[in-house]
Amino acid sequence: MTVLQVGPLMPFLEADLRELYAAPRLPDPPDSFLDGPGAQVEIVVTSGRTGVDADLMRRLPALRAIVNFGAGYDTTDVAEAARRGIAVANTPDVLDDCVADTALGLIIDVMRGLSASDRYVRRGDWAAGGNYPLARKVSGARVGILGLGRIGLAIARRLEGFDCVISYHNRRRRDVPYRYVSTPVELAAETDVLVVAVSGGPQTQHLVSAEVIAALGPDGFLVNVARGSVVDEPALVAALVAGRLGGAGLDAFTDEPHVPAGLLALDRVVLTPHLASGTTETRRAMADLVLANVAQFRKNGTLVTPVV
């Protein structure tokens, strides 16, 4: 089966795909490839940042499987893939710990002002005689988790070590020792920190709405380790600039890698470049799972971690 790389991947995964399958990368512009060798492509390897849309599926007539490097696959038109009988896989589980670690890091950073206080020292403000403003306590905080899947549960387990009071909203109740709250607005209204850990896609578009942000209020914090599309970004920026939201730790944005200019000067906001799963160990494990999916599909037409 002919394998094609669509979009950039980790260099070691690109090297493995070339060595094992002589997989080319879809050129830009793609027309010369799609009008020729593209007719033989049966497996595409892509990422959550690139994906495969309906038009590309149409132009790859032999396509049978899409293997996504990453847990999120909202950039791939999954409904169209299902309609065409194209299988889709992602790389779940192996990144849960690192994403949960990042969420905890953002919670601690934005509540205690660690990044902001680092800048305070570097600017010479401390040496000039000014004590850094008081921050907020993390231990014992009320934390709401929006999306209690594998990553949400990993975040909750870590928060238990901080004696946090944990509640959650999910599509359905889970058999867990945390309190279920029926709507995101209600969850935000009764927590100090709202952590976003839901999947991206149309079903969660702007789930964190202006109403949710307002419910958090000027003493609340938002942490997003999911997708930028989940948050109403203009409403978030407006609330932060006006002081109607206490702060935010953001690892995902609507138009990556572009970050709203209004956030850049705010010390109450921690900004990271979508690095939640970005460790050597996790990215290698994700690559290995991609290769396992490709190998198994070539062998028997099934995927190790199918989503469709």
Q: Which of the residues are catalytic?
A: 227, 256, 274
Distances (CA, A) of 195 to 127, 203, 216, 231: 35, 18, 11, 11
* 193-196 and 179-180 strand pairing: unpaired
- Closest to 17 (Cα-Cα) out of 33, 2, 38: 2
User: Residue 2 in 3-state DSSP?
Assistant: strand
HSE-up of 191 (CA within 13 Å, CB side)? Answer: 29
Query: Is residue 163 packed enough to be buried (19+ CB in 10 Å), middle (13-18) or exposed (0-12)?
Result: exposed
Query: Is there a contact between 72 and 199 (Cβ–Cβ < 8 Å)?
Result: yes
Distances (CA, A) of 3 to 32, 62, 141, 248, 289: 17, 11, 49, 41, 16
Distances (CA, A) of 287 to 69, 134, 200, 299: 7, 43, 21, 18
Q: DSSP per residue over 111-145, as a string?
A: HHTHHHHHHHHHTTTTTTT-PPPP----TT-EEEE
Give strand pairing partners of 66.
Answer: 44, 88
Cα dihedral sign, 165-169-174-180: positive
